[in-house]
Each structure stands twice: as structure tokens, then as C-alpha cells.
Chains A and B, each alone.
Chain A
Amino acid sequence: MAFTGDFTVEQITLSDVTVNDTSTGSDDTITTRRIYFRQYDNTTIVPEGVTTDYVEFPLDAGNSILIENLLLRDYALSIEVVWITPTPDPDGVYDVTKSYLFTYYSETFYYGLTQTQTSSPQIVNDTPYYKNKSLLRTLIDDADQSIRFGTDLYSAQINLNAAFFMMQNQLFYF
């Protein structure tokens, strides 16, 4: 059976992700795997200390690798995994790219606002507060739908950037 590369990515904490190799088939000539995390402008992000523009996913790591300190804010990313082999099978698939949205920072902040409301429910009557919270929700949802329905990294990142700005300036918004 020809090798067919595939993978999933899961955000474990604010900054850490796990990449799971869910490939089918086999190819003994594969020597290693590389993971590229690309933004909408094609620039790549890697954890601090990594000197390449990709994260190495060695075979001896097994089917899963935890990549720490990768996400220092929310991102919409095009993630590419490449299975390196000197003699690829023409029927196989060795290069797979998928789009992912990481909103842990925004959602955590947003959830924190809801926690605030449990102890100060009257705050929802503060018009700017709730209007801005509603805007934050919209930005997160827009980012989600940009990826889910359009695989549109640019639109998603624009929304995430706007949400990031609100969080950075929370004293003015909330």
C-alpha cells in the first residue's frame, strides 16, 4: 500500500501544540519529517532556539510530537508536513498542508470576561463593556469561519489581530 501522509494538530495549552502523524501505508525510505508553520504572508514561525524555518519531527519521536512555546499569540496557520525520502513512491503522498486556527489566547481572555460577570453581573449593563465583548466574540467567530468555510488565512489573521489589539488594550475596552 502506497504511503499516504496525513496529520492532525491540537493546541494543548496557550503556546504548545501537538502534531500527530496519522499517515497510512508505509515507506521504509522515509528518513525524517519536517513541519512548517506558515502565516498568511508565508513567513514561518518556530519556537525560540530553532534555527531552521521548520520543526524537525524525527521518526524516533513516534507518531506524536509536542512542540512547546510555538504560539505566543493567536494564529491562523497553514501547516505543512513533509515526509523526507530520497526515493518517493510516485503513487504516494509525502507533502500535506492544512489550515488551522489557534484561538486559545482570545478564548481564554473571553472566558475570563464571563468569569468576571459571574461575580459582577451588573457589568453587562455597562454599554461599552458588553458592546466590546460582543465585538470580541464576533472577531473570534469571524476568524473561525474564515478558516472553516474559506481557508482564508489572511481574513482569519486580521480578525485575530484585532482581537489581540483589544486584549492588549483591555483597559480601554473592558
Chain B
Amino acid sequence: MAINTTPYPVATIISVAKISQYLASVEVFKNTAFIKGNLDERLPRMLYMERKAVEWQYSHNPIANSLNATANYLWALCGRFQRRALIILGQGGGIIIDPTTGQPLNLLWVTTSFTIGESNSLMLAGDNSFIINRPNVLSDSVEFGYSGSSPLPRTGTVPTGQQTYKPTYSKNSTLIELDYDVVGGDQYTISYGVTGAGSVFTPGGGGASLPTQAGHAGEVLFTDGTNPYWANVPIYIKSANFDQTNGITYLNDTLADQQFYIFWNEGGRYLIEDDGEFTRIAEGGFTVNVSGFDARVNSYNLFLVVTGLNT
């Protein structure tokens, strides 16, 4: 199994230990007061003592070999407070809690484990990405890492050279990209929050997350009411773009069920749909019905402006 030297950078572990210390102090007090104590009351002091040792070594020799072991030891001491501390540090995953009830209402927390190379694995040995084919995964909720260990840090949150992952959320699926290739036999666990039916919570703020932006410079965001996508406004159409079998039909599936205006440059005017000068095609496109219009023999320039309204 591939092993990280430390689950997080030593500086992060030190920060987590500082937060865990006060979380532990509160927990020990409540534990003692209400549950007669099942938490080692020395824990806050232990966290302080061991953190001071690691912090001192890190400040004097941050590349000391011994830091791996001592930082991991400190990390282990943080125990149940690791995740809460990471969230406080802004590096954790998790789901949204309704503050009025304190409950994850209408939300589902999903956890899946898999072993690379086994039949139900989400990845094969050598892969560095996989897709969660599940709609409504909450943005920023994914946690991914080796089973039995804390989640890996996300790409960009730690210096390069460490194993990280990058989740990309969309309405119907979530892409997980690792910055390394997985090894056969390694066991991973992925957890994420999903909105339930009728939930008022939706990923990405007001809808699905943005579609992939690469290759769509200058385009604007459209939606068909369910799926967002990038498209040009307006679309410049020349004779060559028409169906050359009839010279009057223009097909473009991004226009499916869209409303639009068409300006015909050579005619010096808009084509009026209500007057029957063009007919929209449900699968995307239109047919020009102006008498004598034939893109096979004439050179035309049309500008199509999508209104943003659906059918």
C-alpha cells in the first residue's frame, strides 16, 4: 500500500493539534460533567505537550526525518477532533446542517469503500480519476482518501508533491481527479453529501455547478431548465452552415427547444417567426421559408440570437 509520510503537511497537523487542544478541553469538561468521563482528561495537556515538541523541531529543522513519526503521533492524538479541526481550518468536507434543527435534513451522507483491482472498484490500477455517477452531490462535501486514514488534502491546498485529489461537481455527476496513479490493492473510501428529494439545498448555490469552462472562452451560460451548458450568443451562420441538400435548413443541437431571433444580413431585416418566415426545429435549428432562399446557390450571412427562453 502506498503510504503518505504524513496525512497532512506538518504545519497543518500543528494547527490541527492547536485546535484539537481546545476542542478536547471542552469535551473533557462536558464528558466529566455529564457522562462521568470516558475521555482521557489528560488529553488537552498531552496535545499541548506533544505539539510543542513537534512545533519546536519543525521550526528548527522542518525536513528532519523524525518529524514524520512524531507528526503522525501528534495527528493520532488529535483523534476524534481531527475532522472538526480541519473544518475550522477551512480544509474539511462535510455536509450542511440546518442550524434551526441541528440535523442534516433532506441530506444524505454517503460513504463507499473500494479496493483497487476488485470487481466493484471505482478505479483500476494505474487510474487517476473516476466519476461518481450520482446527481445532486453537494459542492464541497466530498472527502476522499485511504480507508482508515484521514481524507487526503485537496489539490491546491498543500504544497505540490503530496498526494491530493480534486473534485469537480456537476448536476448529475462528480469527477474525482487524483494527482497520482492508484496502485492495485490499495483501499480507498469516498464520502459525500447528497441532497434528498424535495431538498431546499442545491449544489453550487443556485443550481448545478458550472460546466467545464476549458474551450468555451467568450461563451455564456445557458440552461435547459435542468442542465447548464456554454453556448455562443449570437451564432454567426453562413451559407456553408446550411444543409446542402435543401439549402434552407440549419441544424444545431445546442438550439434544441430554444427560442431565438434571426437577422438576415442580405435581406437587411429580421426573419419573423410569427409571419412564417422561419420554422424552429425541436431537435435544434430552423428552416427558412422565405421564397427563393437557397443557401446552396446564394451567399448569406445570418446572425442568430438566443433569447435564453425555452420552448
Q: Contact flags (1/0) for A106-122 with B, using CB distance below 8 Å?
A: 01001101110111010
Question: Could you count the A-B residue pairs with CB atoms below 8 Å apart for me: how many are there?
Answer: 40
Closest approach, in angstroms, between the C-beta of A14 and any C-beta of chain B?
A: 11
Using known A-B contacts A117-B73, A118-B72, A118-B73, determine if residue A111 contacts B53 with beta carbons closer than 8 Å.
yes
Contact B52 A115 (CB under 8 A): no
Tell me how far the C-beta of A130 lies from the nearest C-beta in chain B, rounded to whole angstroms. Answer: 7
**A contact patch SS:** helix
A118 touches B49 (CB 8 A): no
Number of interface residues of B (CB under 8 A): 16
Q: Mark B16-50, 1 if CB is under 8 A from A, else 0.
A: 00000000000000000000000000100110111
Q: For the complex, would chain B's binding face be called helix, strand, loop or mixed by DSSP majority?
A: helix
- Residue B202 lies at the interface, judged by CB distance under 8 Å to chain A: no
Given A117-B50, A134-B45, A137-B49: A111 and B72 within 8 A (CB)?
no
Q: Is B57 an interface residue (CB 8 A)?
A: yes
How many angstroms from the CA of A124 to the CA of B57 in the assembled complex? 20
Q: Are B42 and A114 in contact (CB under 8 A)?
A: no
When the two chains form their complex, are residues A118 and B70 in contact, meaning their CB atoms are under 8 A apart?
yes
Closest to B48 in A: A137
The docked-state distance in angstroms from the alpha carbon of A124 to that of B54 is 17
Cβ–Cβ < 8 Å partners of A114 in chain B? 49-50, 53-54, 70, 73
Cα(A121)–Cα(B70), bound, Å:
11
List residues of A whose CB falls within 8 A of some B CB: 107, 110-111, 113-115, 117-119, 121, 124, 130, 133-134, 137, 141
Counting from the closest, the 4 A-B pairs by CB-CB distance are A114-B53, A118-B69, A118-B73, A111-B53
